[in-house]
Amino acid sequence: MARSASTYESVIDGFKVETNRKYSSVGGTKCNIFAQNVMSAMSADLPSGLANQMADALLGNKTPGWYSVTFQDAQKRANLGYPTVGIRKAEGHGHVVVVRPKGSSITILKEVQIAQAGTKNYNSNTINYSWVAADLPGVKFYTHD
């Protein structure tokens, strides 16, 4: 699949995360399913399992095609159309978000543009709506070639 911001945006938007019942938080959040669906559609399969299992599999660049980047590079890569995620392992359940194109570079972590399924589903919002401020520095970012 050709990588471009418009293609990546279309894929993310096509899942209609804010209204699609598949991603409803009833019975538990579906962040892993949404992220896996988007990445699969971009030919960049994420490891299976819940967010904590994904975080373990991605740590140390152990998943072929995926490698860690800074939050600035995560946004740059998403802006170019490369599949990119932010993930934080946590006690109990972690959380994973899709980094989506923003159209501009960023200088601070809370400016990263994301889509997510969670207790609240967002098609396009900033990452500071995904985690409390104290947890943001613990988010790791990965991108796929």
Number of domains present in the structure of the chain: 1
Pick the more confident residue, 82 or 28: 82
pTM of the predicted model as reported, rounded to 2 decimal places: 0.96
- Residues 64-73: what's their mean pLDDT? 97
Average pLDDT over residues 95-106: 95
**Amino acid sitting at position 13:** D
Residue 26: give the domain boundaries: 5-144
CATH number, position 109: 3.90.1720.10
Residue 105 has pLDDT above 90, yes or no: no
* Res. 103: pLDDT tops 90: no
In this model, does residue 40 exceed pLDDT 90? yes
